[in-house]
């Protein structure tokens, strides 16, 4: 599997997972809060901060009824029109430069999800290091083609997409000459549930598309994200907020700083634990071999006596003969006097 570079980091199984904090609309229309989110994200140890680049006008039509009204009572955004929702959630374009600047100063890769061609041109002016395509846009082949034409790496969320639709997206990226691609397994429900995450898809997606695969995770907690690393995920993206209780369009399924810090730590531990296929004692285990059981003299034995289950036993530590020889040795004759506590060896047997 080809390694690729996202921002300052190489991505691949030989490297710790790349962790992305998604700000989305959790700035609650305050630039001060947006910058506070950047600072808080940097302190957690994540690799990157992601924002979204659109306006309500570039996203939808200003109609507040019918197809443009969210009538699903189970939705976090029930009772709003799409236009009003995006007016609340969008990140003003004049905020992008200070957000990018602060994030870079703090060592983060800062990038964005464009939702139309004008957003791509704008993000090019900010020299974004790479791009994200959202799940709801993964069938927008003209947008994907425009992004791929920049020559920069592309991360595509795969929520709702069929294999055929993903194949079209991947082909579009490669036709333009872009080879640096990451697909993120994603379940487009907010929040998502672990049982609908289906992270067994990750290795299957690797086989189908031969590219780096990660996870865009909308579940609560870090369990699904950690499990995905064992499935081969090399990139993890989760939504980020300062406090869920502060509210915001995505706050209900966003993680707080302490949780993100745990994700950073535990994802690296999960990656380290995968190691390689290994049997037998590792270098660090060799000292523990002494605590295995082995055959020891359990009572003083005189030369010429026979071994019985009273004068020899299988006990710890492991400096005597292995327990597999115990039945064979019973009834054998001892060559010389042996004290209790002596590890039994072949040279003691006639």
CATH of the structural domain 286-348, one choice from 3.50.50.60, 3.30.43.10, 3.90.800.10, 3.90.1210.10? 3.90.1210.10
Residues 244-285 pLDDT 10s: 998 878 888 999 999 999 999 999 999 999 999 999 999 999
Residues 181-235 pLDDT 10s: 999 999 999 899 999 999 999 999 999 999 999 999 999 999 999 999 999 999 9
Query: 8-54+90-274, what's its fold?
Result: TIM Barrel (3.20.20)
Pick 6 or 64 by higher pLDDT.
6
C-beta pairs of 266-271 under 8 Å, 24+ apart in sequence: 266/222, 266/226, 267/16, 267/17, 267/19, 267/222, 267/225, 267/226, 267/229, 267/236, 268/16, 268/17, 270/17, 270/226, 270/229, 270/230, 271/16, 271/17, 271/229
Residue extents of the structural domains in the chain: 8-54+90-274, 286-348
Q: 0.85 exceeded by the pTM? A: yes
Structure tokens at 126: 């900010």
Q: Are 197 and 187 in contact (CB under 8 A)?
A: yes
Strand 154-157 to 131-133 pairing: parallel
Q: Which residues pair with 52 in a beta bridge?
A: 113
* Element holding 185 (H helix, E strand): strand 181-186
What angle, 0 to 180 degrees and rounded to 10, lies between the N-to-C axes of helices 257-274 and 31-44?
30
Q: Is the fold of 8-54+90-274 the same as that of 286-348?
A: no
Q: Report the C-alpha dihedral over residues 209, 211, 216, 217, rounded to 10 degrees.
A: 80
Residues of the chain with pLDDT > 90: what percent?
A: 86
CA distances to 152, 258, 310 from 237, rounded to whole Å, are 19, 16, 63
Q: Which residues contact 66 (CB under 8 A, 6 or more apart)?
A: none
């Amino acid at each position: 599997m080809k390694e690729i570079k996202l921002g300052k980091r190489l991505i691949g199984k030989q490297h710790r997972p790349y962790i992305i904090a998604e700000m989305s609309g959790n700035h609650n229309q305050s630039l001060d809060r947006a910058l506070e989110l950047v600072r808080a994200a940097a302190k957690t140890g994540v690799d990157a901060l992601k924002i979204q680049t659109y306006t309500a006008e570039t996203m939808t039509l200003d109609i507040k009824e019918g197809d443009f009204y969210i009538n699903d009572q189970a939705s976090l955004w029930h009772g709003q029109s799409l236009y009003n929702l995006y007016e609340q959630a969008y990140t003003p374009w004049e905020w992008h430069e200070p957000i990018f600047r602060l994030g870079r100063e703090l060592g983060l890769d800062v990038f964005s999800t464009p939702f139309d061609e004008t957003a791509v041109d704008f993000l090019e002016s900010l020299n974004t290091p790479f791009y994200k395509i959202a799940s709801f846009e993964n069938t927008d082949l003209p947008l994907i083609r425009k992004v791929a034409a920049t020559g920069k790496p592309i991360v595509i969320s795969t929520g709702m997409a069929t294999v055929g639709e993903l194949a079209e997206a991947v082909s579009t990226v490669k036709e333009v000459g872009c080879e640096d691609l990451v697909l993120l397994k994603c379940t487009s429900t907010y929040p998502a549930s672990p049982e609908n995450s289906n992270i067994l898809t990750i290795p299957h997606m690797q086989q189908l598309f031969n590219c780096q695969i990660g996870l865009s995770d909308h579940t609560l907690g870090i369990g699904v994200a950690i499990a995905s690393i064992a499935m081969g995920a090399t990139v993890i993206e989760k939504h980020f907020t300062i406090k869920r209780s502060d509210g915001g369009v995505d706050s209900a399924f966003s993680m707080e700083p302490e949780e993100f810090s745990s994700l950073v730590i535990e994802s690296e531990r999960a990656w380290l634990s995968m190691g390689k296929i290994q049997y037998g004692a590792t270098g660090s285990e060799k000292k523990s071999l002494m605590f295995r059981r082995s055959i020891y003299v359990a009572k003083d034995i005189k030369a010429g006596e026979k071994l019985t289950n009273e004068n020899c036993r299988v006990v710890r530590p492991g400096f005597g003969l292995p327990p597999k020889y115990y039945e064979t040795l019973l009834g054998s004759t001892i060559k010389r006097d042996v004290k209790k506590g002596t590890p039994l060896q072949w040279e003691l047997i006639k």
